């Protein structure tokens, strides 16, 4: 029998370790490694953020999770800017998705043109590497929600020509391409007939397929069809959020390894811990209950609820747990970073509050015994491998 005092000591050490993981200032070694490495984050929602409320992210901003000074401090030099299209009937199939996607791409080009000493658009792995050597921040682009394709393969080529290099097939509702993990109406039971053709054509032109957000059935259908590795641009693990289909389970991770793809871990607290996920479920339940009773919700309903029920932020250590599990299950070559900065509101974990925080993650990885070589794979090496394989396949087809 273990003595109670031993258990108390063990718990104390564990809690102390967790606190230290979240509050320790990164070492010079961690900062140096972060700064000297290409750092790809495959999902940052700046385009839609500044579309809704303009901010000049070439300079320091008062809000949001990203701006140039903070990104430089954090060592971020190759963010994928999310061309996010809301999933609703107002956009789907009515030309508005196509229009909005082009506007968001325009805004990224404008940033690069306005500050050419700081930013450059990146549409290839060679662009990323060249611009890193030049000291410029590469702005790559991924489309979150394939709605702008609008059932026309010509639009796929159009957005590829404009620099988009991955497409998240669906978002929070099923569209003309795929069912969504959030949508209980499984219209297609996976991919639509057009969606299956789209996967093949995306392979052929070198457009990466993003399996974040899609239903499990759609995921496995992509696995069967895709001839190139796929990405999950901003997903975490269902192991730590049971029942949350938006995250990936162990069987999906094993399928991802077989495909050669990579999962880019989402930092949002509700993607990282069940307690954070449950907090949102309880908030929504309170709202639904109030509406059923005919109560008109006040503008500060969420704030009032939060005041009485503090949000259980995830910790840096818990984000690291997700990375650890991927590595333990399928290996170091299949995991990266897809933070969802500017996309998950104020739910970011302690120690990872904005783009200046990547050295904290690197320090955490060092503390857990990851080598510099392995850390570089997580920061960009794995994503670059997958992207290069897509480029090579396209050259042959």
Tokens in use for 390? 């897509």
Residue 285, C-beta contacts closer than 8 angstroms, at least 6 positions apart? none
Q: For residue 127, what pLDDT is reported?
A: 98
Q: Answer whether 339's CB lies under 8 Å from 71's CB.
A: no
Instruction: Determine which helix (DSSP H) or strand (DSSP E) holds 119, and give its type and residue range.
Output: strand 119-121
For residue 195, the Cα-to-chain-centroid distance in whole angstroms is 22
Q: Express each pLDDT in 208-228 by its tens digit.
A: 999 999 999 999 999 999 999
CA 292/CA 376 separation, integer angstroms = 51
What per-residue confidence (pLDDT) applies to 9? 32
Tell me which residue has tokens 């890193």: 132
Q: pLDDT tens track of the chain, all 397 residues?
A: 333 333 333 333 343 334 334 556 999 999 999 999 999 999 999 999 999 999 999 999 999 999 999 999 999 999 999 999 999 867 777 789 999 999 999 999 999 999 999 999 999 999 999 999 999 999 999 999 999 999 999 999 999 999 999 999 999 999 999 999 999 999 999 999 999 999 999 999 999 999 999 999 999 999 999 999 999 999 999 999 999 999 999 999 999 999 999 999 999 999 999 999 999 999 999 988 888 888 888 888 999 999 999 999 999 999 999 999 999 999 999 999 999 999 999 999 999 999 999 999 999 999 999 999 999 999 999 999 999 999 999 999 9
Cβ within 8 Å of residue 251, ≥6 positions away: none
Segment 25-58, tens digit of pLDDT: 999 999 999 999 999 999 999 999 999 999 999 9
pLDDT in the model for residue 18: 42
Strand partners, 262: 231
For 291-325, how does the pLDDT look when each residue is reduced to its tens digit (9 = 90+)? 888 888 888 899 999 999 999 999 999 999 999 99
* d(C-alpha 240, C-alpha 266), whole Å: 13
Tell me the pTM: 0.92
CB 43 within 8 A of CB 340: yes
The DSSP H or E segment spanning 282 is helix 274-292
Contact 66, 339 (CB under 8 A): no
Other Cβ atoms less than 10 A from the Cβ of 137: the count is 23
The rounded distance, in Å, linking the Cα atoms of 121 and 116 is 10
Whose CA is closest to 314, among 322, 325, 306? 322
Query: CA dihedral in degrees (52, 57, 63, 66; nearest 10)?
Result: 100
pLDDT at 14 (0 to 100):
41
Give the tokens for residue 242: 């049971």
Residue-level pLDDT at 42: 98
Element (H, E) at 48: helix 46-52
> What pLDDT sits at residue 22?
54
**How far is CA 206 from each of CA 121, 124, 143, rounded to the nearest angstrom?**
17, 10, 14
Q: Which two tokens stand for residue 105?
A: 């791409």
Are 347 and 268 spatial neighbours (Cβ–Cβ below 8 Å)? yes
Phi/psi-derived region of residue 43, left when phi > 0, alpha when psi is between -120 and 50, beta in every other case: beta
Return the SS3 of 147.
Answer: helix
User: Element (H or E) spanning 374, and its range?
Assistant: helix 372-376
> Alpha carbon of 107 to those of 45, 56, 87, 159, 212: distances in Å?
12, 11, 20, 14, 24
Q: What is the DSSP letter of 372?
A: H
Structure-token pair, residue 172: 């929070």
Nearest in space to 65 (alpha carbons), one of 83, 48, 45 = 45
- List the end-to-end C-alpha distance of the chain, in Å, as a whole number: 65
Tokens of 223: 């696995």
- Identify the structural domains of the chain with CATH numbers, from first to last: 26-273+312-396 (3.20.20.140), 274-311 (no CATH)
């Amino acid at each position: 029998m273990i003595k109670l005092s031993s258990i108390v000591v063990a718990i104390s050490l564990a809690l102390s370790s967790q606190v230290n993981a979240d509050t320790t200032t990164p070492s010079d070694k961690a900062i140096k490694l972060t700064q000297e490495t290409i750092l790809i984050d495959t999902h940052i929602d700046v385009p839609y953020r500044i579309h809704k409320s303009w901010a000049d992210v070439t300079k320091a901003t008062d809000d949001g999770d990203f701006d140039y000074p903070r990104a430089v401090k954090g060592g971020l030099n190759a963010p994928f800017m999310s061309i996010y299209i809301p999933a609703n009937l107002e956009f789907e199939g009515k030309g508005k998705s196509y229009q909005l996607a082009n506007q968001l791409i325009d805004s990224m080009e404008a940033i690069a043109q306005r500050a050419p000493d700081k930013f450059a658009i990146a549409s290839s792995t060679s662009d990323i590497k060249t611009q890193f050597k030049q000291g410029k921040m590469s702005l790559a682009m991924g489309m979150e929600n394939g709605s702008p394709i609008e059932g026309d393969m010509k639009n796929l080529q159009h957005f590829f020509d404009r620099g988009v290099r991955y497409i998240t097939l669906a978002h929070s509702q099923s569209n003309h391409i795929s069912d969504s993990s959030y949508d209980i109406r499984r219209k297609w039971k996976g991919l639509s007939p057009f969606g299956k053709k789209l996967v093949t054509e995306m392979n052929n032109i070198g457009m990466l397929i993003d399996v974040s957000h899609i239903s499990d059935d759609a995921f496995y259908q992509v696995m069967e069809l895709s001839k190139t590795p796929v990405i999950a641009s901003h997903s975490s693990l269902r192991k730590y959020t049971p029942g949350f289909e938006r995250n990936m389970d162990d069987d999906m991770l094993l399928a991802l390894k077989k495909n050669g793809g990579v999962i880019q871990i989402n930092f949002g607290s509700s993607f990282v811990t069940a307690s954070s996920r449950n907090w949102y479920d309880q908030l929504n339940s309170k709202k639904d209950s109030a509406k059923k009773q005919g109560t008109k919700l006040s503008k500060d309903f969420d704030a009032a609820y939060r005041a009485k029920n503090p949000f259980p932020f995830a910790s840096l250590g818990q984000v690291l747990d997700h990375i650890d599990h991927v590595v333990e299950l399928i290996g170091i070559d299949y995991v990266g970073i897809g933070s969802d900065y500017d996309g998950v509101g104020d739910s970011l974990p302690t120690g990872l509050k904005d783009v200046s925080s990547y050295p904290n993650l690197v320090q955490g990885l060092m503390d857990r015994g990851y080598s510099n070589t392995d850390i570089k794979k997580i920061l960009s090496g794995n994503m670059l491998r997958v992207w290069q394989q897509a480029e090579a396949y396209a050259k042959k087809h």
